[in-house]
Amino acid sequence: MASVSSDEWRAICDKFTNAQNLTVVESLNDPDNDPFRSKYKARELLREIYCSLKSFEAGEGEEESGGETGESGESGESGEQLPVEAPVDGQTEEAFSQGFCGDSPAGLRAAKLGAVEYYLGVNHVDTEELSAGQEHLMNSMKLLGRCRVSSENVSLFIHARNQLGILWAGRDETETAQGFLETAESIYQRYMKEDGSPPTDMADYFSTEENQLTHQERTKRFELAYTHTMYYLAQVYKNLGETERAAIYCHSTLQRQLKLNQFSPMEWALNAATLSQYYITKGRYMEGRHCLSAATVISGLAGEVPSEAAAQESETESERREQLRQKRAEIARCWIKYCLNILQDSKKLLEDSIGELDTDRQEEMKRGRRLEEEEEEKERKSAMLFGSEDTFDSIASLEEKVRCLLPMDFTEARAIFLVGQHYVTQAKDYFQMDGYVTDHIEILQDHSSLFRSLAFYEEDLDRRCKMHKRRVDMMEPVCMELNSKYYLMIRRQMMFELAETYNEMMDLKLTLANRQDETESLDSHTIKKFNNLCSASAKYFQMFLDSLCSPEGKQPEHLEEEVLRPALVARFRVARLYSRLICTSPPGQVENLDKSLEHYKYVVDYCDSHPEAVATVETELELSREMVGLLPLKINRIKAKIHANN
C-alpha cells in the first residue's frame, strides 16, 4: 500500500474530503430536477478511491482474495431489484476470535476497503438505490469479517450494522434489522469490556497525519454511533410491539446522551419528562419520579428565564423566555400527572364497592408494605440512574421531596397532593386562560381531580365537602366563560364534572345531617342547602343535555356514539335528582316526580328504539325500567292523598 506520506495517498485523502463535503454540505443545494447531483458526484469520487486502493494492492503484489467484490454499484443503476432475502449477521463470538489482527497490514487494508464500501453503501441508500446500497454494506461486512474486532475497526463494525439495520427496517423486515443492531450492541459491549481504548474513526483512514482526530474526538464519535444503535433498537422494538423493551432503550439513549454530554438541556429534559409518563401509566412510580427529577434538574441547566424587561428589549431574549417558560411548564404538567396517577392508583386499591375507603384493606396494605420494599427499589434504581457527577445530588434531593410508594392514608396522600398543587400553580403561570384555553383547562381539570382524590382519604365529611366546593369554584366560572362554538367538548366535560361534584356534595350534606341529627326530620336550613345542591347538579346535567340539541333546540333523534353513554347517564341522573328533591307540598312532589318519570321514560324509550344502546347503560336501564313501573304508583298515591285532603 502507498506510504501514508506519498502524493498518491494525499490525492486519495483529498478526494475523500471532497466526497464528504459533497455529501454533507453541497447536496443541500441541489436543484429540484437533479436532487442527487452532489451525491452522484461523491459516489464517483468514492469509486475512484476504491480503484486506487485496489491498484495499490496490485502494485504491491499482495494477492487479495476480496477482488471479486469489485464494482458492485452497477447493478443498482439499472434499477433492478435484487432478490430481497434477509441475510443473517455473523456471531459476535467469531468476530472477536477469528480472522487477522485489526492492526496487521492485511487488517488495515481490509478496514480501509471496508470503509469505502461502507460510504458507497450509505451513498446508494441515500439516493434510494437500496439493493446496491445493501450490497456495498454487505461487502463492507465481508471484508471486516476476515478481521478480528480491534480498536482499528470496531467503529466500522458498528456503523455498518447501524446502516444495515436502518435499511432492513425500511423494508419492513424488522427482525432482520433487529439482528444487525443487536450484533452491533454486543460487539460494542464486548469491545468496551476487553479493550475500551478510543477506536479509530473511519474518517481517520483517509486523513493525512496532521489531520488525525484526537482521542477525545474519536471516543465521542464512537460513543455517538453506539447511542444511535440504542436509539434504532428502541424503534425496532417499538415496531415489533415490544413497548417495554423500547422504553428501556429510549431510557438508555437518554442516559448515554447525558453521560457523554451530547444533549441540549431543554430537549433532553422534555424527553425525560415524556418518558416519565410511560412509567407512571405502567405504575412504575420510582422510574417515573426519577425521570421527572432529572428533567427538572437538567432543564435548569438551560439557564435562568430572561426577565420580562429583557424580553422586551431583544427578540432573541423574548424567544428564549418563551421557550424556557413553556418547556418548564410542560415538565410541571408531567409532574401533576405523576401525583394524580399515584393518588388514583392507591384509591383504586383501597376503595370498597361503593367507592369509600375500606379500612380493613387499608390496615392490611399498610402492614404488607415492608421495609425491604424501598430497599428493593434502590436496587432496581441503580440500573436506570440518570446524571453526571454534578447533577446527581440535585436529582436525588428532588426525588426525596415526593414519595414513589402508593399513599395509604390521608397524611401521605396530602403530601403528594401538595406537590401536585405546587406544580399546578407553576404550570398555570405559563398556560394562562387568555392564550392557552385548552391547556389551562386541562390543568384545572387535573387540579380538580387532585382534590377529588384527596377527598377520598379525608374522614371529616365537612372538610371533604369543602374540597368539592373548591372544585366547583375553580370550574364554574371558566365553564360559563367559554364559547361553546369553539369549546363544545371541553364545556361538556366540565358540565358533567360540575354536575357530579354538586351531586357528591349533596350526598355528603345529607349524610352529615343524618349523622348529627338522628331524629327523622331535617331542619329547614339543611333542606334548603340540600335542595340547592340537588338543583345545581340537575342544572348542569340539563346543560349538558341541551348542548346535544340542534341549533333550533331540538333533541337529537339519534345519539352519536361518543355521547351515547354520557347522554343516557345524564338523563338517568337528572331523573334521580328530581325524585330526591325535598318538597313538603304534595303538588310540588307530584310535579318533581312527573319530571323524574319523564327522564326515566326517555332512557327506556331510547333503548327500546335503539337496541344498540342497551349494552352501554345496562344497570341504568334496569333501574329506569323499574322506576317507570313504580313511580306512577307513587304519584297516584300522592294524588289520591291530595284529593282526599281536598
Partner 1 sequence: MSKSKSSESIKVVVRCRPMNEKEKAAKFEMVVSVDVKLGQIIVRNPREAAANEHPKVFTYDSVYDWNSKQIDLYDETFRPLVDSVLLGFNGTIFAYGQTGTGKTYTMEGVRNDPERRGVIPNSFEHVFTHISRSQNQQYLVRASYLEIYQEEIKDLLSKDQTRRLELRERPDTGVYVKDLSSFVTKSVREIEHVMNVGNQNRSVGATNMNEHSSRSHAIFVITVECSELGVDGENHIRVGKLNLVDLAGSERQTKTGAQGERLKEATKINLSLSALGNVISSLVDGRSSHIPYRDSKLTRLLQDSLGGNARTVMVANIGPASYNLEETLTTLRYSNRAKNIKNKPRINEDPKDALLREFQEEIARLKEQLEKRSGKKKRRRRRRGGEGSDGEDLEEGETEEDEEEGEDKGDYWREQQEKLERERKAIMEDHSLVAEEKLRLLKEKEKKMEDLKREKDAGEMLSAKVKAMESKLLVGGKNIVDHTNEQQKMLELKRQEITEQVHHIL
| Binding residues for partner 1 restricted to 17-46, rule: CB under 8 A | 28-29, 31-36, 40
CA distance 297 to 401: 13
Stretch that binds partner 1, among 88-96, 270-278, 600-608, 636-644 (CB under 8 A): 270-278
Does 241 contact partner 1 by CB under 8 A?
A: no
CA distance 552 to 396: 60
Spatial contact of 113 and 66, defined as CB atoms under 8 Å apart: yes
One of 11, 357, 433, 628 touching partner 1 (CB under 8 A): 433
Nearest CB to partner 1, comparing residues 129 and 152: 129
Does 235 contact partner 1 by CB under 8 A?
A: yes
- Helices 154-170 + 174-194 axis angle, to 10: 160
Does 271 contact partner 1 by CB under 8 A?
A: yes
- Minimum CB–partner distance for residue 230 and partner 1 (Å): 10
CA distance 199 to 397: 37
- Minimum CB–partner distance for residue 308 and partner 1 (Å): 17
Does 334 contact partner 1 by CB under 8 A?
A: yes
CA distance 134 to 129: 9
One of 52, 104, 208, 239 touching partner 1 (CB under 8 A): 239
CA distance 451 to 440: 17
Nearest CB to partner 1, comparing residues 123 and 537: 123
CA distance 111 to 114: 5
Nearest CB to partner 1, comparing residues 345 and 598: 345
One of 344, 394, 531, 535 touching partner 1 (CB under 8 A): 344
Compute how many other C-beta atoms are within 10 angstroms of the C-beta atom of residue 95: 23
One of 116, 169, 499, 597 touching partner 1 (CB under 8 A): 169
One of 336, 350, 499, 505 touching partner 1 (CB under 8 A): 336
How many residues form the binding site for partner 1 (CB under 8 A)?
A: 83
Q: Which of 571, 567, 618, 580 lies closest to 598 in space, CA to CA? A: 571
One of 45, 110, 202, 247 touching partner 1 (CB under 8 A): 247
* C-alpha R_g of the chain: 35
Report 277-306 residues binding partner 1 (CB under 8 A).
277-278, 280-281
One of 92, 123, 178, 227 touching partner 1 (CB under 8 A): 227
One of 49, 158, 294, 340 touching partner 1 (CB under 8 A): 340
Does 72 contact partner 1 by CB under 8 A?
A: no
One of 46, 53, 108, 130 touching partner 1 (CB under 8 A): 130
DSSP 229-275: HHHHHHHHHHHTT-HHHHHHHHHHHHHHHHHTT-S-HHHHHHHHHHH
Report 80-109 residues binding partner 1 (CB under 8 A).
80-81
CA angle 400, 404, 406 (to 5 degrees): 135
One of 139, 253, 589, 592 touching partner 1 (CB under 8 A): 253
One of 95, 108, 137, 275 touching partner 1 (CB under 8 A): 275
Q: Is 33 exposed, middle or buried (0-12, 13-18, 19+ CB in 10 A)?
A: exposed
Q: Which of 456, 446, 457 lies closest to 494 in space, CA to CA? A: 446
Does 425 contact partner 1 by CB under 8 A?
A: no
One of 60, 77, 352, 622 touching partner 1 (CB under 8 A): 77
Contacts of 465 (CB under 8 A, 6+ apart): 505, 508, 509, 512
- Minimum CB–partner distance for residue 454 and partner 1 (Å): 17
CA distance 562 to 1: 73
Compute how many other C-beta atoms are within 10 angstroms of the C-beta atom of residue 380: 11
Site string for partner 1, 312-331 (x = CB under 8 A): ---x------x----x--xx
Q: Write out the three cell numbers for 456.
A: 377520598
One of 171, 215, 401, 637 touching partner 1 (CB under 8 A): 171
Q: Write out the three cell numbers for 624.
A: 329506569
Nearest CB to partner 1, comparing residues 139 and 235: 235
- Minimum CB–partner distance for residue 238 and partner 1 (Å): 6
Does 61 contact partner 1 by CB under 8 A?
A: no
Counting every residue, how long is the chain? 646
Q: Write out the three cell numbers for 500.
A: 357530579
- Minimum CB–partner distance for residue 505 and partner 1 (Å): 25
Does 60 contact partner 1 by CB under 8 A?
A: no
- Minimum CB–partner distance for residue 161 and partner 1 (Å): 13
Report 549-578 residues binding partner 1 (CB under 8 A).
550-551
Nearest CB to partner 1, comparing residues 26 and 598: 26
Q: How far is CA 189 from CA 183, 186, 192, 229, 319, in A?
A: 10, 5, 5, 12, 42
Nearest CB to partner 1, comparing residues 169 and 402: 169
CA distance 148 to 142: 12
Nearest CB to partner 1, comparing residues 170 and 632: 170
One of 23, 131, 150, 293 touching partner 1 (CB under 8 A): 131
Q: Is 646 exposed, middle or buried (0-12, 13-18, 19+ CB in 10 A)?
A: exposed
One of 85, 360, 434, 520 touching partner 1 (CB under 8 A): 434
- Minimum CB–partner distance for residue 71 and partner 1 (Å): 16
Reading phi first (left if > 0) and then psi (alpha if -120 to 50, else beta), residue 307 is in: beta
- Helices 243-259 + 215-239 axis angle, to 10: 160
Report 465-504 residues binding partner 1 (CB under 8 A).
478, 481-483, 485-487
DSSP 106-135: HHHHHHHHHHHHHHHHHHHHHTT-HHHHHH
CA distance 331 to 324: 11
- Minimum CB–partner distance for residue 336 and partner 1 (Å): 7
Does 11 contact partner 1 by CB under 8 A?
A: no
Nearest CB to partner 1, comparing residues 165 and 265: 165
Q: Which of 157, 163, 164 lies closest to 190 in space, CA to CA? A: 157
Report 509-538 residues binding partner 1 (CB under 8 A).
none
Report 178-217 residues binding partner 1 (CB under 8 A).
none
Range 631-644 burial, b when 16+ CB lie within 10 A, else e: beebbeeeeeeeee
